[in-house]
Structure 1
Amino acid sequence: MKEIKPKRKSPTYFSRGVKIIADRVMAALLLLLFSPILLVVAIVLRVRMGSPIVFTQARPGKNSEIFTVFKFRTMTSDCDAAGNLLSDEARLIPLGQFLRKASLDELPQLWNVLIGDMSFVGPRPLLVRYLERYSPDQARRHDVPPGITGWAQINGRNALTWDEKFKLDLWYVDNWSLWLDFKILLLTVKKVFKQEGISQNANVVAMPEFMGNDK
């Protein structure tokens, strides 16, 4: 984990404006560039799992405002004899596992960036029910827009504990700059190619649920 440095001075309105414009322009260009990949993945998912091909879920964004996040589906809707959904591990198909490892399941979030719900870089948007479980300090992760990637992702991703993840998110909030965003984007590309920090162990699909600071 990276060394925690002292808080810097607040960024200017100009640098925040540049971030907003750069996010929108880059998202539009990448949607055009990756449109063939988006189409192929959509077709394969439609054939393999049927509809819907996109997973949607409410997530809290900047200032805890709720928005809908988009991702490619990676799990089936298989249920047991009683009609209950099987575990995530049982429903994650090999195709979905590949999409997660290659981070291709995140591509629909380019639309979230284009319409301003998200940024390319920021704390990852978590579940709405976590809002009431944060400490006042942890809640500051919503002082900035959520991101497709972030400081926590390049420093461990799901291999981190919740406490480590939140500390890294807050470090990002307190030390944000355009240069830091650029650095995180470059390191994210490296992480994706090396497939580092996907989960805490090979048998776990995602991080365990955050139950609060007293759990």
Structure 2
Amino acid sequence: MWIKRVLDIVLALIATTCLSPLLLATYLLVKLSSTGPALYWSKRVGQHNQLFSMPKFRSMRVGTPQMATHLMNQQKDPNAFLTPVGSFIRKTSLDELPQLWSVLKGDMSIVGPRPALFNQDDLIALRTEKNVHTLKPGITGWAQVNGRDEIPIPQKVALDVYYLQRQSLCLDIKIIVLTVIKVLRRDNITH
């Protein structure tokens, strides 16, 4: 798996360099449109269920409860917590760009199952049962290119298991290409 780690570092460095104007512009957009820090550090579950802090550009107002959107939908309207640019940076996936730092640091990979929030007990338990927790989480993954926010947790974990059983450089490249296409089309993105 050292090849995957080297590839992660190379891709993250290339992406950070190429996207640095976009990173700076998004940082300024978030900072100037709402009070609070531009970056939000989310407590996430990583490989072997170890917690780590994952950076994102802040799309929600300061003080928003930390919970998955599907859980928030059951209690409150998530749109009420969005910053003025929150919807835009989520729809364009610009909020995800700081995760390149987590890839460089080694907490994440470019491709892998998306890291669960620390309080997504149902997702964490099912992934642990199916050994998905042995994988390093990714910025994108097989579940993201096959439904993203639109699919229920059991189906998401089934897609994670598919990736676990078939992971390869070719599959990772396919996922990266599909991710770029889906982000440009804004497929399956909530808010």
TM over 0.5: yes
TM-score calculated relative to the size of structure 2: 0.87
Listed as ranges, the matches of 1:194-205 within 5 Å are: 194-199=185-190, 205=191
Q: Deviation at 1:175?
A: 1.0
Find the partner of 1:71 among 33, 46, 56: 56
Find the partner of 1:122 among 99, 103, 112: 112
SS in 2 for 1:44: helix
Q: 1:131–1:139: 8 Å Cα contact kept in structure 2?
A: no
Instruction: Specify which structure has the higher proportion of helix.
Output: 2
Q: Deviation at 1:87?
A: 4.6
Q: 2:109–2:136: 8 Å Cα contact kept in structure 1?
A: yes
Distance (whole Å) between structure 2 residues aligned to residue 28 and residue 136 of structure 1: 30
SS in 2 for 1:123: coil
Distance (whole Å) between structure 2 residues aligned to residue 138 and residue 61 of structure 1: 15
**Inter-CA distance 141–47: structure 2 relative to 1 (3 Å threshold):** same
Q: Which residue does 1:89 correspond to in 2? A: 79
SS in 2 for 1:134: helix
Distance (whole Å) between structure 1 residues aligned to residue 182 and residue 93 of structure 2: 10
Give CA deviations for 1:126-167 in whole Å, capped at 9, x if unaligned.
112335761475452211100000000000111111111010
Q: Deviation at 1:118?
A: 0.2
Listed as ranges, the matches of 1:23-62 within 5 Å are: 23-62=8-47
Q: Which residue does 1:142 correspond to in 2? A: 133
Q: Which residue does 1:171 correspond to in 2? A: 162
SS in 1 for 2:43: strand
**Inter-CA distance 141–121: structure 2 relative to 1 (3 Å threshold):** same
Higher Rg: 1
* Segments ≥4 residues shifted beyond 2 Å: 129-133, 135-139
In structure 1, give the amino acid aligned to 2:81. R
Gaps spanning 5+ residues in structure 2: where? 65-75
Find the partner of 1:106 among 93, 96, 107: 96
SS in 1 for 2:187: coil
Matched pairs, number: 179
Q: Deviation at 1:62?
A: 0.9
Q: Deviation at 1:93?
A: 3.3
SS in 1 for 2:116: coil
Distance (whole Å) between structure 2 residues aligned to residue 136 and residue 74 of structure 1: 27
Q: Deviation at 1:38?
A: 1.0
Q: Deviation at 1:107?
A: 0.3
Q: Which residue does 1:192 correspond to in 2? A: 183
Gaps spanning 5+ residues in structure 1: where? 1-15, 80-85, 200-204, 206-215
Q: 1:71–1:106: 8 Å Cα contact kept in structure 2?
A: yes
What's the % identity of the aligned pairs? 40
In structure 1, give the amino acid aligned to 2:110. F
Query: RMSD over aligned Cα, in angstroms?
Result: 1.9
